[in-house]
Homo-oligomer: A and B are copies of this chain.
Amino acid sequence: MEDKKSMVKKSAVAKRQKILEGAMKVFTENGFDASSMDHIAQTAGVSKITVYKYFQSKENLFQEIVSDFLLQSDEKKPITYSKTRPIRDQLMDFAMAELYRVKDPIPRGVSKLLASVYLFKPDLVKQTLAGKHFYEDFTIWLEAAKQDGALTFETAALTAQIFYGMMEGCLTWNILLTDGATLPYVEPILAEILDVFLCRYGTQKVKA
């Protein structure tokens, strides 16, 4: 209506995509409960009845957004262990991949949305999130590094928890809760995290 040019010929998948994008915007800005289907339809530039033609319900639309997003995240190539690159640089790769989730407004919004829904409506996301092994790549990488003698630890799972725990506890959650306002303070903390991790699990002395 307000956009004649782009209406030359919208295929069904394009219209579906348009709805998903509008819904993503509204959901990530307001959370699940405070998002209305009217607002979503308006933001998508689509009639509310059309939204219901593509998605059965608000819950369904929400779940489609989440699984679409997770599908895209899965397309990121895994980081494989290298014997030649410095360990610290490779750790930094994992750290940057984690930070990607919160640097950009869009993935950050989805992360906020997921967290808030998970807190009081876990059933809405549990199914969609089932079978996701977030630390899997890192665990594999850890084992390779241990094999190579670059790291030392008892169990890879525990070590992975420490690394991602520091990342999430020091950075991810702060950035999510402040909606990105603490992003400028990332660097010194990130450096300290790597120091601490390598001090405990590295085989070369790094302690100042």
Contact = CB atoms under 8 A, between A and B. Distances in A.
Interface of A: 30-31, 33-34, 112, 115-116, 118-120, 122, 154, 158, 161-162, 164-173, 176-177, 179, 188-189, 192-193, 195-197, 199-200, 207-208
Given A161-B192, A165-B189, A200-B200, 14 more contacts: A33-B34, A112-B119, A115-B177, A116-B119, A119-B177, A158-B188, A158-B189, A161-B170, A162-B196, A165-B165, A166-B166, A168-B173, A196-B196, A199-B200
Contacts of A177: 115, 118-119
The 4 A-B residue pairs with the shortest CB-CB distance in the complex, in nearest-first order: A169-B169, A165-B170, A165-B169, A33-B33
Contact of A116 (B116, B167, B189): B116
Copies in the complex: 2
Contacts of A31: 33, 119-120
Interface SS of A by simple majority: helix
8 contacts: A116-B120, A158-B188, A158-B189, A162-B166, A162-B170, A165-B169, A165-B170, A167-B169
Contacts of A199: 199-200
Contacts of A30: 120
Contacts of A162: 166, 170, 192-193, 196
Contacts of A168: 165, 168-169, 173
B170 A173 contact: no
Contacts of A112: 119-120
A90 B86 CA distance: 36
A167 B154 CA distance: 20
A208 B30 CA distance: 48
Nearest to A115: B119
A195 B188 contact: no
A169 B189 CA distance: 14
